[in-house]
Amino acid sequence: MRTLKFLLQKEFRQIFRNKALLPLIVIAPIVQLLILPLAADYEVRNINLSIVDQDHSSMSRDLISKVTSSGYFKLADYSPSFDKAFRQVEDDRSDLILEIPPGFERNLIRENPQQLFVAINAVNGVKAGLGGSYLSQIIREYNNNIRQQWLPANKTTSLPAIEITNANWFNPHMSYYLFMVPGILAILVTIVGSYMCALNIVKEKELGTIEQINVTPVRKYQFILGKLIPFLVIGIFVFSAGLFGVARLVYGIIPVGNILLLYGFLVVYLVAILGLGLLISTFASTQQQAMSVAFFFIIIFMLMSGLFTPLDGMPHWAYIISQCNPVTYFIEVVRMIILKGSGPEDIKKHFLIMSGFGILLNVLAIWNYRKTG
């Protein structure tokens, strides 16, 4: 313990002496947590819409008013013809075109079916899909309102109706902040743990101090613990600052579940992810190599963690790979405890899997350091 105490003093002094590294470890993740949730929005708003109204009737104006007042569309152009509206799409000034044909109101009053033409710029598939879905839903609601107004009273009372009542569990207001902020916080803790820790042993190699440590009576596990514990403490600090500082004060997210259970899983996760960083540093000879390998794993962890895309929507082979990703389990547990209030029984499987990751990666790091030392 005395040897480990001296190693920890050395590591903490090196970290706090580095005036460039400390802001990257502590301040940068907090700033990123402030900015990234504002950009990672699943809702698409302010979709530029071009309207070609060839009817100029009260019903066409009513439809246009409903579309533009929905909050999803911004009227970018009011064109007299489809060709001029299409030029707006080609110039990337409009995303959708809604064309109302002549005789729209007259045909509806005569109870004849009437068609609307919608053209969607599908270069951005996500924006096109959501924009087309929003517009179709508004048109359906407009059509249902017309039917209810024109249907005779005796028919409306005799027709059976099913009333649906929705209840949103765990996220009553459907706020994407509640979904994205815990996931982004998990990613930032992963970056601090794996990326910074991967540079640790490599720095000793480049400075030449690794040979001095190898000839001392310091044991291998003591050396690994001396490298792991400081970043474990920093990872807990970053997570706490993000959870109780940014998430609570800025986004109003208050954890529903047990905080001690959340921190218990956090410690196990940090041990696993720091073990990966130490394993990378034992293989790399330079800091550039360590940074490249760590960046490679971080990108895969982020994109295959279920943060931005659902795991169930992935191909089968990609889903299998995502189950070997420790970030996947950490994001799930953070969301389960913060949003759902899950207990120990709910995260038991995640805890066992993460413990396996921690044991495997740290054993490999100790074994590989012994081989190179």
Q: Chunk the chain into consecutive blocks of 10 residues (it has 373) and report each block's average pLDDT, rounded to whole numbers.
A: 82 79 79 84 80 90 90 88 90 90 84 83 83 90 81 55 77 83 92 83 77 75 83 92 92 92 96 91 87 90 86 86 93 94 94 95 83 47
Q: Cα(96)–Cα(122) distance, rounded to whole angstroms?
A: 9
What is the CA 238 to chain-centroid distance, rounded? 18
Cβ–Cβ < 8 Å for 185, 334: yes
Residue 280 and residue 200 in contact, taking contact as beta carbons nearer than 8 Å: no
Report in angstroms the alpha-carbon separations of 75 from 48, 138, 309: 6, 15, 30
N-terminal to C-terminal alpha carbon distance within the chain: 22
Spatial neighbors of 182 by CB under 8 A, at least 6 apart, are 247, 253, 331, 334, 335, 338, 339
Q: Is the pTM of this model over 0.85?
A: no
Spatial neighbors of 203 by CB under 8 A, at least 6 apart, are 287
Compute the half-sphere exposure of residue 265: CA atoms within 13 Å on the CB side of its CA.
31
* Contact by Cβ (8 Å): 305, 325: yes
Q: Which strands form 96-100's sheet, in the order they lie side by side?
A: 73-79, 47-53, 96-100, 117-120
Domains defined for the chain, CATH in brackets: 2-40+171-372 (no CATH), 47-158 (3.40.1710.10)
b/e map 287-300, b = 16+ CB within 10 Å: beebbebbeebbee
Give which of 123, 126, 134 is closest to 98, Cα–Cα. Answer: 134
**Please, which residues have CB within 8 angstroms of residue 340's CB and are 6 or more apart in sequence?**
170, 256, 257, 346
**Amino acid 249: pLDDT:** 92
Distance CA 244, CA 241 (A): 6
Q: Is 371 helix (H, G, I), strand (E, B) or coil?
A: helix
pLDDT at 269: 96
